[in-house]
Structure 1
Amino acid sequence: MVGQGSGGTTSAPEGRGLRLGGGAIAALIGVGLLVVFMFQNTERITLDFLFWSFTWPLWLFTLVTALIGAMVWFGVGVVRRHWRRTARRADRRD
């Protein structure tokens, strides 16, 4: 008979859903802990840096420092990939 087949035409293997790697799981746990810390620390703090002095909520200071740290971490990764790429290109030329 024509038209009787397995019926499934998806390209993904059955039984495999969204899978997270170890780095993604660690990042999600870190974000969760950061959010809990921010909710628990809502008092205002005074920051003194060189000749500047300003008052911020501690949760906002925590968020800003986490974002700056993430940008630095990302930047270091970009530089590292660039160094590795240029080293591989140099090795291919030799």
Structure 2
Amino acid sequence: MSKNVRIQVNLDAELVEQAEQILAQLGYSRTTAIRVFYSAIVAQRAFPIKAELAQPEEDKAMKEAIALMIKKIGKDNIRDATSDKELMKFIAEGGRESD
């Protein structure tokens, strides 16, 4: 039989309150949430939440490409024209405006 270990953490009171309200609505206890989180770490052999920072030059290039695309197609039409595939093609072409 597995031995249980007690874990203690210090968290911001407001964060705990907000999280526990959501957990209660989902029907989970804080213990269950932590158990699920730790189980996901073991199952995935990784941190289960993607946490990465874009390289500053990549972030700048993406913002510039998006701004050019908005300029090219117009702000009102952006929803229809910004599929991931189309945006990546636009970026790959160097963000050049084509007519």
* TM-score, normalising length: structure 1: 0.31
More strand by share: 1
What TM-score does the superposition give when structure 2 sets the normalisation length?
A: 0.30
Name the structure where helix makes up a greater proportion of residues: 2
The structure whose RCO (Cα within 8 Å, separation 6+) is larger is: 2
